[in-house]
């Protein structure tokens, strides 16, 4: 997903992550856009990442990840039916 757009623009990535990624989540105000995209069924899962923060994938396509940096990662996923969950993860 790209920031600075009025609408969501979902594009194919490199295939390294098994979820969509949105960056500068809290700083650019894109978290609600990512939540809305998952809730609308445009994607099954998204991870919105704050500035100065990164996810570290153990292997390409893995669903689990570690968080490094000073911000948060907002893991957004559908839980079944119309429900959507948001889990906040930060560096440990």
Tokens 């990535």 belong to residue:
13
Cβ pair 33, 22 in contact under 8 A? yes
- Residue 21: C-alpha distances to residues 25, 48, 81, 88 (Å): 10, 6, 22, 14
pLDDT computed for residue 7 by the predictor? 67
pLDDT computed for residue 46 by the predictor? 95
DSSP label at residue 82: T
Strands 20-23 and 45-49: parallel
Tokens 């893991």 belong to residue:
75
pLDDT computed for residue 4 by the predictor? 54
pLDDT computed for residue 6 by the predictor? 60
Give the tens place of pLDDT for each residue, 3-45.
Answer: 455 667 788 888 888 899 998 888 988 898 899 999 999 999 9
Give the tens place of pLDDT for each residue, 42-74.
Answer: 999 999 999 999 999 988 777 889 999 999 999
């Amino acid at each position: 997903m790209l920031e600075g757009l009025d609408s969501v623009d979902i594009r194919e990535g490199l295939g390294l992550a098994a979820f969509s990624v949105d960056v500068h989540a809290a700083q650019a105000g894109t978290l609600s856009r990512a939540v809305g995209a998952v809730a609308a069924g445009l994607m099954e899962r998204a991870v919105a990442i704050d500035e100065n923060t990164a996810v570290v994938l153990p292997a390409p396509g893995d669903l689990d990840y570690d968080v490094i940096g000073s911000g948060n990662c907002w893991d957004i996923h559908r839980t079944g039916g119309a429900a959507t969950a948001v889990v906040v993860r930060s560096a440990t």
